Homo-oligomer: A and B are copies of this chain.
Amino acid sequence: MPELRKDPILGRWIIISTERGKRPTDFIIAPPPTGGGFCPLCPGNETTTPPEVLSYGRPQLADNRPGWSLRVVPNKYPALVIEGSLDKEGEGIYDRMNGIGAHEVIIESPDHNAAFTYLSPDRMIQVFWAFRDRIIDLSRDPRFRYVMVFKNFGSGAGASLEHSHSQLIALPILPRMIVSELEGSKSYYGYKDRCIFCDIIRQEIRKDIRIVCQTEHFIAIAPYAPRSPFETWILPREHSSSYIEMDDRQLESLTAIFSELMRRLDSCIPGVPYNFVLHTAPLRSEPLNYFHWHFEIMPKLTSIAGFEWGSGFYINPVPPEDAAKFLKEAKI
């Protein structure tokens, strides 16, 4: 059983996962990236994954056969497990609970060689539907407080499978990153009576030096204080605290901006590994006037990323104004 443990000084929760590597020798040689051989995410291999929890394109859960256009399955090597109770307890000054949660893989296309960035709009929108559907479904489990949706692309960004996929983890606690954002934005709201993200959007539109692109409902900006070169955020232009509040029309607009942004990024830095993470309100939260959901997209330019791993401090050699300009002018 995996375990959730809290750092008593920082309040940071981490997962001790017992399903993965264990002995020191497991770390001596990095495993070669999967590729060439067998792909458990390809059509025809449905029975090699745990049974699907969602699919589009053919009758859902239809014996886990081919014919799907998108498929969501539990991770075969989950960081957290779905069965069991939390059993929160103290160990002296420490706090722990059982590693209860869900860990799912969103298989974004049946085509092994498809890249998320170049999915057609009707394919890409399915990915965003799936995020919504899965968050709504998982929010029914009272043990969970947050669903973290993210994507790792490229081995430099931590992807261990080639076949295009994203992931989600349903957590019984709020990740520290979200706690900090909620606290920061709440404190701003208390002071100004305005959402800080709405204020950021207003200022960015007025200045127009860090905007990459816009669609009817969304804006993509290089944030003022980016952690890494070409970091970009996608935010809804109208205030909304939760991803799942989006209707289908807004999802279309999100697809359009995501697709454009990713193609611009790939045009600037071909094949760049990246991560994106959805930041949204906690599960079952009422609409929050101070918090604004968004995606954060972080290219992983490892040739220069070492510094901050060491120091815990971010040093970014590319001003966001330059990054926005490069992205805006990229040929796509």
Q: Using CB atoms and an 8 Å cutoff, list the residues of chain A in contact with chain B.
A: 3, 5-24, 27-31, 79, 91-94, 148, 150-152, 155, 157-160, 167, 169, 171, 175-177, 180-181, 184-185, 188, 196-197, 199-200, 203, 207, 223-227, 229-230, 268-270, 272, 275-277, 298-307, 309-320, 322, 326
Q: Hey, which chain B residues are within 8 Å of A224, CB to CB?
A: 5, 7-8, 91, 94
20 contacts across the A-B interface (CB closer than 8 A): A12-B314, A14-B313, A17-B317, A22-B322, A23-B326, A24-B269, A24-B326, A27-B272, A27-B301, A29-B303, A30-B302, A152-B306, A152-B307, A158-B307, A158-B310, A169-B313, A177-B313, A275-B311, A277-B310, A298-B309
Query: Which 7 A-B residue pairs are closest in the complex by CB-CB distance?
Result: A158-B306, A20-B317, A30-B303, A275-B310, A5-B225, A24-B268, A14-B314
**CA–CA, A20 to B318, complex, Å?**
8
- Chain B residues lying within 8 Å of A313, measured Cβ to Cβ, are 13-15, 148, 169, 171, 175, 177
- The smallest C-beta distance from A95 to any residue of chain B, in angstroms, reads 9
Chain B neighbourhood of A12, CB < 8 A: 225, 227, 314
B14 touches A316 (CB 8 A): yes
Question: Using Cβ atoms and an 8 Å threshold, which residues of chain B touch A177?
Answer: 312-313
Q: Given A16-B319, A303-B31, does the pair A9, B184 have CB atoms closer than 8 Å?
A: yes
B277 contacts A311, CB within 8 Å?
A: yes
- Residues on B with beta carbons closer than 8 Å to the beta carbon of A6: 225
Q: In the docked arrangement, what's the CA distance between A311 and B101, Å?
A: 15
Q: Is the interface of A mostly helix, strand, loop or mixed?
A: mixed
The answer to whether B92 touches A203, judged by C-beta atoms less than 8 angstroms apart, is yes
Task: Looking at the assembled complex, report how far the CB atom of A329 sits from the nearest CB atom of chain B, in whole angstroms.
Answer: 10
Q: Enumerate chain B residues within 8 angstroms of A299, measured Cβ to Cβ.
A: 27
CB distance from A7 to the nearest CB of B (A): 4
B residues within 8 A CB of A207? 92
Complex Cα distance A261/B318, Å? 37
